Amino acid sequence: MRIMIRNVQVKNDLLSAQIELPQRSVCQLSISSSEGRLLHKLFVQLDIGENTVRLPFRIAEKGRYVLSLLMGAEVTQEPFAL
């Protein structure tokens, strides 16, 4: 099993996503603009298997963004648009 991010959605200033992990871990989640500007970062404890995460995300500008997850040395990214 590898790290997977799916179903990234933003509604009412809240970003939600499904994250699948091969092991329980403290992970860094970050949201960046498509130009690479860091907009939000936090650390979360996630369990093995499928996890649902919800983050505050208040951005007025429509555009393309990237949700990134760092677990150890492994980084997974999922683009999304508003």
Whole-angstrom Cα distance, residue 15 to residue 51? 14
Residue 60 has pLDDT above 80, yes or no: no
pLDDT at 15: 94
* pTM score of the predicted model: 0.92
Q: What is the CATH number of the domain that holds 67?
A: 2.60.40.4070
pLDDT at 50: 96
Residue 57 has pLDDT above 90, yes or no: no
CB 19 within 8 A of CB 5: yes
pLDDT tens, 8-56?
Answer: 999 988 999 999 999 999 999 999 998 999 999 999 999 999 999 998 8
Number of domains in the chain: 1
